[in-house]
Amino acid sequence: MATHTDEVLAEKAARLRLLLTDCDGVLTDAGVYYSAEGEALKRFSIRDGMGVERLRQLCGVDVGIMTGENSPIVARRAEKLHITHLYLGVKNKAARLSDILQAHHLQPDQIAFIGDDMNDWEVLQLVGLSACPADALPPIRAVVDYVCAQPGGHGAFREFAEWIIHLRTNTPQL
């Protein structure tokens, strides 16, 4: 895990305008249920959804989902949470990050990212603030600014959002 002082982390958090998250393994527990028709169910935490809302309301930080999957279920969850930055079927997340920066006139230090697996490794090192769930792979845990106590699909996103809120507002972390 990257080590920074609280002051440096607060400075990083103050610059954020967009938090991007992987889906499977962060917003979900990395499991999926299949039927004869294909992907049928994914489990999402309602508390993570509240994290999206609180981050927007308390800090003005928008949220986006960037995932390698082309899942109508993820699109539906994004719609429910009013997430307009939705990037499905992304095979090269670092390249997509570059596109996002250009399209929205952002700098890398204005982006936070939370991911859990090797397809997130490069982008985690390119953004201003990074995190992973407790059950992320060891190489991912080694490069992020914050390792959540919660596993993916069980509040890791909310925990990261609340940590950012804490860093930006100096209020107690939930």
For the stretch 8-23, pLDDT in tens is 999 999 999 999 999 9
Cβ–Cβ < 8 Å for 131, 39: no
Q: In sequence order, what are the residues at sequence separation of 6 or more whose Cβ sits closer than 8 angstroms to the Cβ of residue 142? A: 1
* Three-state SS at 113: strand
Range of the domain at 114: 6-169
Domain count, the chain: 1
174 in any annotated domain? no
For the stretch 121-165, pLDDT in tens is 999 999 999 999 999 999 999 999 999 999 999 999 999 999 999
124 in any annotated domain? yes
Query: Considering the entire predicted model, what is its pTM?
Result: 0.94
CATH assignment of the domain containing 152? 3.40.50.1000
